[in-house]
Structure 1
Amino acid sequence: MWREIEPDERRAVEVAGHRVVTYSFGSGDEVVLLLNGGPGLPCDYLRDSHSCLIDHGFRVVAFDQLGTGASDRPSDASLWTITRYVEEVETVRRALGLGRVHLVGQSWGGWLAIEYALTHPSALKTLVLENTVADIPHLCGELERLRGALGPETVAMMQRHEAEGTLSHPEYQAAITILNHRHVCRLAEWPAPVVRSLSDWNMEPYETIQGPNEFLYVGNIKDWNRIPDLHRIKVPVLITVGQHDELTPACAARMKHALSDAELKVFPNSSHMPFFEEPDAFFPVILDFLKRRGTG
């Protein structure tokens, strides 16, 4: 269902002295604002997969977060915090005159969306949390379970390389490759927008915030937990997750139980990207939620 189309508008926004590039598709008052994962990834994979929402009357807006894609790429570790990125989102929303939005956050973009919803609640109509979590320590426990499925000898090997700092070793990278294909994208051939985003990954914000790979959290986000605060989010929330997602259904259920008005959908044949892995099942769920709950 994804397609690569030219944006109707490409505009640069100044964010605290830096240039952030935005992309807008379609028109109208119902705006879907996309916050992609990473951190450090260009928005291509989420923008190209979700731009199909314009066929149903929505305006879709995405942007390359600072440090990614066509946006400026300063080398300053102090910039790579979730708090600064929240204010970047608000600057983009105001600069483009988007008004109240349907905020979609995927993976790291979901952490950002949660933090944004708690900081700027009046800016939202709805919140869609795709393949994300609100409790990183809980996620780390889930990742240990997923790693454990590789077997005790492989886990011991990975722990040895992590302790010695030899993460580039071929045997460690082989284990990460298996985990990625099990829990990030289960398609035999990864879609072009995914490959394009991954090939332009800026590892500086990624390693500062998260860590060296998808299965080891040692960055400044490692203790982040917003579960106790989720009851403050009053807009309708849709949570989507793949059954084989690295950010697991258990993490999704933890969010649902903490939110006051949330729906949860698990896609049984997907991992971290059901919008690519099961698009025919995924997009009807998103559209139904937006049209049913997004009229306030």
Structure 2
Amino acid sequence: MAIRREWSTMAVNKGRVPFRGFQTWYRRTGTPGGDAPAVVVVHGGPGSTHDYLRNLAGLAAAGWPVVHYDQLGGGGSTRLPDADPGFWTPELFGDELDNLLVRLGIDGNYVLYGQSWGGVLAARHAATRPAGLRGLVIANAPASYPLWRREMEVLRAQLPPGVDEVLRRHEAAGTTSDQEYTDAMRVFYAKHVCRLRPWPADYQASFLEVADNPTVYAVMNGPSEFHVTGTLRDYSVIDRLASIAVPTLLISGCYDEAGPAVVQPFQDHIPDVRWVMFEESSHLPHLEEPERFFRTMIEFLGGLPRRAPTSEGMVTHGG
């Protein structure tokens, strides 16, 4: 699709905004301030980076400014070695998102795109009914980590013979950093996270970032996507979903680790929602089926309400 080739010619601004004595890195593609809401991209993890979602900047070529950012603890934002579970909480990342919107001056006209853990965070934000939120995209995300853990058992049982045995042996022994565990883990990832061969460079960048800087992921999630032992293991946003008051698009893949059972509560409880399944994708339809993905996104964004243009510009923060 042409817009994916054209976004590199769009205006780009990078910087950092202060947050509680730390810094949140952002990248803005396109020029905000018109009637089209900015699309704010909330990445997964927790503890990953924006890199694997970079191609969403292509939406800027179709008229929607796009803001990527790295959540605290990874990428271009402040890294902290602190493994205190009391620090790394959904509330922290929710407050960071609120701060970013205000600091960039886009809190009056924006759409949230949350992928995986980012979808949980975006739903949590949307449930507070912020006045400037025009729409919500929840991509490949669980509404409940207890549901996620239950469904992981189903997917693990379907792995090739011997793979889950290796995984469980290392999980029981606490040796999940062993190369044998990593090799077996990638069998699962190849089926349910990214089916492309080889993995795209953008996804590789985020994957390696977590491997190099695992603090947030380990504390909140655990050693792998399918072995959730961290503070999110019992976390859910199901009880908040009925409060979401904006049009919502659900995205998932037929081979997604976020299978239908973990997505269904979004469909059941959000009042204005549409669910699109990508038949050839697992966890990353924006990379696995980009043509259909961009068509779906543009159709959704084009149907959202727009704010009348104002003379107010965005606040710019260099960095």
Same fold (TM over 0.5): yes
The number of residues matched between the two structures is 295
Partner Cα separation in structure 2 for residue 224 and residue 109 of structure 1: 14
> Secondary structure of the residue that 2:242 maps to in structure 1?
helix
| Match in the other structure for 2:312 | none
In the superposition, relative to structure 1, how do residues 168 and 73 fare at CA in structure 2: closer, same or farther (>3 Å)? closer
- Residues 1:66 and 2:72 are matched in the alignment: yes
1:203 to 193, 199, 214: 214
Partner Cα separation in structure 2 for residue 38 and residue 194 of structure 1: 12
- Residues 1:12 and 2:16 are matched in the alignment: yes
Normalization by structure 2: what TM-score? 0.87
Higher mean Cα deviation, 191-200 or 276-285? Answer: 191-200
2:87 to 79, 85, 96: 79
CA contact (8 A) 1:7 1:23 kept: no
> Secondary structure of the residue that 1:285 maps to in structure 2?
helix
2:183 to 155, 161, 174: 174
CA contact (8 A) 2:27 2:69 kept: yes
CA contact (8 A) 2:11 2:31 kept: no
> Secondary structure of the residue that 1:281 maps to in structure 2?
helix
Segments of 5+ residues of structure 2 without an aligned counterpart are: 308-319
Using the TM superposition, give the Cα deviation of residue 62 of structure 1 relative to its aligned residue in structure 2, in angstroms: 1.0
Normalization by structure 1: what TM-score? 0.94
Higher mean Cα deviation, 250-259 or 151-160? Answer: 151-160
| Match in the other structure for 1:274 | 285
- Residues 1:97 and 2:105 are matched in the alignment: yes
- Residues 1:145 and 2:151 are matched in the alignment: no
Using the TM superposition, give the Cα deviation of residue 149 of structure 1 relative to its aligned residue in structure 2, in angstroms: 0.3
Using the TM superposition, give the Cα deviation of residue 151 of structure 1 relative to its aligned residue in structure 2, in angstroms: 5.4
Bigger relative contact order, structure 1 or 2, given CA contacts below 8 A and separation 6+?
Answer: 2
Partner Cα separation in structure 1 for residue 271 and residue 161 of structure 2: 40
> Secondary structure of the residue that 1:254 maps to in structure 2?
helix
Partner Cα separation in structure 2 for residue 237 and residue 156 of structure 1: 39
Segments of 5+ residues of structure 1 without an aligned counterpart are: none
Using the TM superposition, give the Cα deviation of residue 87 of structure 1 relative to its aligned residue in structure 2, in angstroms: 0.3
> Secondary structure of the residue that 2:257 maps to in structure 1?
coil
Partner Cα separation in structure 2 for residue 200 and residue 153 of structure 1: 29
In the superposition, relative to structure 1, how do residues 161 and 7 fare at CA in structure 2: closer, same or farther (>3 Å)? farther
Q: Pairwise mapping of residues 1-296 of structure 1 onto structure 2 (< 5 A)?
A: 2=4, 5=8, 8-28=12-32, 29=34, 30-46=37-53, 48-76=54-82, 77=84, 78-98=86-106, 99-119=108-128, 121-150=130-159, 153-201=162-210, 202-295=213-306
> Secondary structure of the residue that 1:83 maps to in structure 2?
helix
Percentage of matched positions with identical amino acids: 36
In the superposition, relative to structure 1, how do residues 156 and 195 fare at CA in structure 2: closer, same or farther (>3 Å)? closer
> Secondary structure of the residue that 1:109 maps to in structure 2?
helix
